[in-house]
Amino acid sequence: MTYTLPALNYSYDALEPYIDAKTMEIHHTKHHQTYIDKLNTAIANTERADKSLVELLQSIDILPSDIKAAVKNHWWGHRNHSFFWKVLVPTGSQPSAALEKAIVASFGSMTTFKERFMVSALSVFGSWWTRLVKDRDELIIKNTSNQDNPLMLGEKAILGIDLREHAYYLKSQNRRSEYVENIWNVINWAQVEENLNSKR
């Protein structure tokens, strides 16, 4: 099969003023599209080309070594971005009482959770994603590099924020903290809760 760019559930300008329309358009149509194009190129003319995304991942260890790294990076690049678009929503979403309770149980308060998320987002040089992750019965904050995903370690991401400069540079330039502070206004908490309660 050939992978295609998933449509967003909102327009490029829907997250203004917190994330600008130009950034959303370039991030979606250029950066995300490039992962898909490179994934399609990597699997073209292999017997894996007809596999679904999940089947492809499950069989990654038996892929020919010359395409394994490309499939891994671009498959996760595609999946991580698809996940990211869904945890964003035009302003107004609030965490439910149940979700807030789960976050407070692990962090003490929503304020502490956001403070620790910010520290994590700012602390690791070259970090590409900061995530809220379910690890057994606990929620933790975790940074990963490249397009690595906590699922590789058996953990489940329930909220992930893209920290590469292309996610915020047009609006915030070097001010990553401004981007992270702004993003709380457009988090889709209903989706985060769905992720928390999903099987994987």
Residues engaged in binding Mn ion (CB under 5 A) = 31, 162, 164
Residue whose CB is less far from Mn ion, 31 or 116: 31
Least distance (Å) from Mn ion to the CB of residue 188? 17
Structural element, H or E, at residue 35: helix 33-43
Least distance (Å) from Mn ion to the CB of residue 184? 19
- Residue nearest to Mn ion as judged by C-beta position: 162
Least distance (Å) from Mn ion to the CB of residue 167? 5
The DSSP string of 128-170 is: -EEEEEEETTEEEEEEE-TT--GGGGT-EEEEEEE-SGGGTHH
Coil, helix or strand for 16?
coil
Least distance (Å) from Mn ion to the CB of residue 54? 21
Residue whose CB is less far from Mn ion, 162 or 193: 162
Identify the CA nearest to 16 among candidates 195, 196, 170, 173. Answer: 170
Residue whose CB is less far from Mn ion, 31 or 38: 31
Residue whose CB is less far from Mn ion, 48 or 79: 79
Give the strand pairing for 138-144 and 129-135: antiparallel
